[in-house]
Amino acid sequence: MTDACGILGDGSKAVKIHNLIKAPENTAESILRRESWDASKPATVYITPERMPDGSPCKAATVILRTRGCAWWWKSGCTFCGYFNDVRDDVTVEDLFQQWDEAKRKTNNFEGCSMVKVYTSGTFFEDSENPVEWQEHVLRETYSLGLHLVVEAQAHLCKPEKMAWLAERHPGATIAIGLEAYDDSVLRFHVNKGFTTKTWRKAVTNLRSNGLRVKTYLIFKPPFMSEGDALEHTSKWLVDVAPLSDEVSVNPMNIQNRTVVDRLFRNREYRPPWLWSLVEMIQRTHESTSGNNARIIVHPTAGGKIRGSHNCGLCDEQVVASIERYSVSKDISEFRGLDCDCKAIWKTEIESDINLPTPLGSGRNRRGLELDLMRAP
């Protein structure tokens, strides 16, 4: 069908939004760049301070491998996920074994570490993403080295048989699931997650019945959501998912390259959350979440930077440090005395978002001259 003004198209076959959004990443140039990486070397290996499941401090190695990447991303993908920037679709089983050996070489066989996080930019135990013999090798080896293992997964892939298989090879491992939002509409229309909250609850049952630990990721401020709504919703989700999790990690949105969120951000239609919103969420939920055993972590990746959660630029460092300290100490007094002139601007933005029938846009720039900010759209 055609129409005079072209609104309904010219009659040619419709193009899927998936291709429109992702086409630039699939150009010959992008593929060439991705495939220029050495497939026998992991993307990153680093060691950070962490906490063991019993709360004791430890050192953890994080190994990010170059894999074929998340099957969901190749099919559709979450709106904020830039993991595809680290993947290659021609990685072989030999490459993966070599990457793993390289990670061990770099860390001297995980010397001094009690925990290892093995991230594959998708689901560790999805057989079409990672070969089964390699999964088995990593599970058994990390167990024999006495390391606590953390891997990531999508909820619908945590099937009872596979979880039993995994628990047999590495009992007590932690499975981190990116739930992002405890709301089916948000999962569908803001995140494009590919599974529902019901599926996540089933996954939790499957993990727990096999003695595996549940880590839940929530995202703070998915796209197409105002700052005020993000604060209200995420505070509620946090309280709701904490009893079903051993750990909850709230990840404030940071803009990853070439994602849907990146496009909105460049178009001035999205801004990452304020650090004040994170402080407010923690203060609102502290009492309800401290009653159960789940550990709550709020880690503002790229905190204080324009593409991460940020305030006015003057107070950012101090606020990020308090949030980081709270994740370890669980002490609400970390925020005592914290203040800045920009807090009043943040408060007004939240009040407008919540009280006005239509949002006033996606928030103003928080840095620069007052006069320029007032003129900005």
Helix (H) or strand (E) holding 262: helix 260-266
What one-character-per-residue DSSP string does 292-321 give?
A: SS-EEEE--TTTTSTTSS--SSSSHHHHHH
DSSP H helical ranges for 42-180: 71-75, 93-106, 132-144, 160-169
Cα 345 from Cα 347, distance rounded (Å)? 5
Closer residue to ligand SF4 in complex, CB, 83/335: 83
Stretch near ligand SF4 under the rule CB under 6 A, chosen from 67-75, 165-173, 205-213, 367-375: 67-75
Quick one: what does residue 340 bind among Zn ion, ligand SF4, none, with the CB cut-off 5 to 8 Å set by partner type? Zn ion
Cα 374 from Cα 377, distance rounded (Å)? 8
Q: How many residues bind ligand SF4 (CB under 6 A)?
A: 11
Q: Distance of CA 100 to CAs 68, 120, 165, Å?
A: 15, 11, 21
Q: How many residues bind Zn ion (CB under 5 A)?
A: 6
Shortest distance, position 191 Cβ to ligand SF4, whole Å = 8
Task: State how beta strands 174-180 and 247-252 pair.
Answer: unpaired
Shortest distance, position 339 Cβ to Zn ion, whole Å = 9
Quick one: what does residue 178 bind among Zn ion, ligand SF4, none, with the CB cut-off 5 to 8 Å set by partner type? ligand SF4
Q: How many helices (H) and strands (E) does the chain have?
A: 14, 8
SS3 118: strand
Closer residue to ligand SF4 in complex, CB, 178/304: 178
Judge whether 235 and 285 are in contact, CB under 8 Å. yes
Cα 248 from Cα 12, distance rounded (Å)? 47
Residue choice 122, 131, 273, 304 for contact with ligand SF4 (CB under 6 A): 122
Shortest distance, position 232 Cβ to Zn ion, whole Å = 22
Closer residue to ligand SF4 in complex, CB, 87/320: 87
For residue 123, how far is the Cα from the chain centroid?
13
Quick one: what does residue 342 bind among ligand SF4, Zn ion, none, with the CB cut-off 5 to 8 Å set by partner type? Zn ion
Shortest distance, position 158 Cβ to ligand SF4, whole Å = 13
SS3 62: strand
Strand 44-51: give its sheet, edge to edge: 44-51, 57-64, 115-119, 148-153, 174-180, 213-220, 247-252, 295-298
- Tokens representing 94 are 């030999």
270 binds ligand SF4 (CB under 6 A): no
Site for Zn ion in 339-358 (CB under 5 A): 340, 342
User: How open is the CA angle 114-116-119, to the nearest 5 degrees?
Assistant: 170
SS3 196: coil
Judge whether 213 and 263 are in contact, CB under 8 Å. no
Q: Residue 66: which of 159, 136, 130, 149 has the closest Cα?
A: 130
Shortest distance, position 178 Cβ to ligand SF4, whole Å = 5
Closer residue to ligand SF4 in complex, CB, 270/335: 270
Stretch near ligand SF4 under the rule CB under 6 A, chosen from 66-74, 155-163, 258-266, 368-376: 66-74
Shortest distance, position 194 Cβ to ligand SF4, whole Å = 6
Stretch near ligand SF4 under the rule CB under 6 A, chosen from 78-86, 106-114, 138-146, 324-332: 78-86
237 binds ligand SF4 (CB under 6 A): no
154 binds ligand SF4 (CB under 6 A): yes
200 binds ligand SF4 (CB under 6 A): no
Shortest distance, position 172 Cβ to ligand SF4, whole Å = 23
62 binds ligand SF4 (CB under 6 A): no
273 binds ligand SF4 (CB under 6 A): no
Closer residue to ligand SF4 in complex, CB, 302/328: 302
Residue choice 65, 66, 68, 83 for contact with ligand SF4 (CB under 6 A): 83
Site for Zn ion in 278-337 (CB under 5 A): 311-312, 314-315
How many Cβ atoms sit within 10 Å of the Cβ of residue 361? 15
Closer residue to ligand SF4 in complex, CB, 82/131: 82
Judge whether 144 and 120 are in contact, CB under 8 Å. no
Q: Given the rule CB under 6 A, which residues bind ligand SF4?
A: 70, 72-73, 77-78, 81, 83, 121-122, 154, 178
